[in-house]
Amino acid sequence: MKSIIFRISVILFGFLLAFTIGEIFLRYLGYAASDIYTQGEAGLLILNPNKNIHIRSVCFQNDVKTNSFGFHSREYPLEKSEGAFRIAIIGDSFVEAMQVPLEKTVASLLEQKLNSLSSRSYRYEVIPFGISSHGTNKNISYYEKYASRFNPDLVIDAMAWNDIEDDVLESNIITGSPSGVLKRIKKILRKSVLITTLRKSYMTFLSDPERDVDKLPVEVGILLAEYDDFWNNAWIRQEDLLKNFKSKAAKNNSDFMLVSFTDGYRVHQGL
């Protein structure tokens, strides 16, 4: 018995040592560190406000400028000027867009496109509220605590396929199930440079359109025509969240739009 415990202890120590060495090494190389985020309103995660942050990952490097509210965006005044049409776009890493310069983010490109229209009746402002790794459930919170203060005319929920999973996890946490432990684990893991780097490499690999569709992970089942009970229940919850989001926006006299962002799986001809 003691021999088994000793072996397990050695294995665990080896994993911990390897993890620590990998973490230190990646930070030494300048890969994105955990201190780029902080807690904002109601404990919501935001980027450190008013900072110039150099981000380095497996496949990109970028200098990110955050505004005073802690988002990858230029500064917008809370009070909307006359003749302006405001759009708040809320989402995860697609909206956060730390991989690209500010002028290349989805919010900036949309704003440029709308303001270039010769037939436009307004001056458009597209304000992003993007933080990685959450779904519609958290988007509602970011709308209530941040985006609603800017009195947007239109609220966009930018949804990616993994948001459904995130919302299922959040629903389990809200109902007090043991999955609350998963939330705490997730918070810890997202602070690890090693874990986030490996995850991004893995997701890049999965997005390769040359891969065999039959070997894609089970999570891709969310994109198929028929769902099992898990995904059926997940979609029911998602519909409830979207209706709730739309209702909250309507109470503030804002229109609501759902935009589904595309990733590698969706353009694969086999799906």
In a domain, 253, yes or no: yes
In a domain, 5, yes or no: no
What whole-number distance in Å separates Cα of residue 184 and Cα of residue 188? 6
The gap from C-alpha 205 to its chain's centroid, in whole angstroms, comes to 19
Ramachandran region of residue 145, left (φ > 0), alpha (ψ -120 to 50) or beta? alpha
What whole-number distance in Å separates Cα of residue 178 and Cα of residue 165? 16
**Chain segment 241-255, per-residue pLDDT in tens:** 999 999 999 999 999
Task: Count the alpha carbons within 13 Å of 246 in the hemisphere toward its beta carbon.
Answer: 10
Task: Count the alpha carbons within 13 Å of 34 in the hemisphere toward its beta carbon.
Answer: 13
Counting the structural domains of the chain, the total is: 1
In a domain, 57, yes or no: yes
Q: What residue type is assigned to position 105 of the chain?
A: T
**Chain segment 79-131, per-residue pLDDT in tens:** 998 999 999 999 998 999 988 999 999 999 999 999 999 988 899 999 999 99
**Chain segment 129-149, per-residue pLDDT in tens:** 999 888 899 999 999 999 999
SS3 content of the chain, % helix, strand, coil (to 5): 50, 15, 30
Looking up tokens 């490499």 gives 201
The length of the chain, given as a count of residues = 271
In a domain, 21, yes or no: no
In the chain, the percentage of residues whose pLDDT exceeds 90 is 41
In a domain, 163, yes or no: yes
> Strand pairing partners for 158?
259
**Chain segment 45-84, per-residue pLDDT in tens:** 999 999 998 887 767 788 899 999 999 999 999 999 899 9
The gap from C-alpha 112 to its chain's centroid, in whole angstroms, comes to 23
In a domain, 161, yes or no: yes
In a domain, 215, yes or no: yes
What whole-number distance in Å separates Cα of residue 114 and Cα of residue 126? 9
What whole-number distance in Å separates Cα of residue 89 and Cα of residue 127? 6
In a domain, 236, yes or no: yes
Range of the domain at 82: 31-267
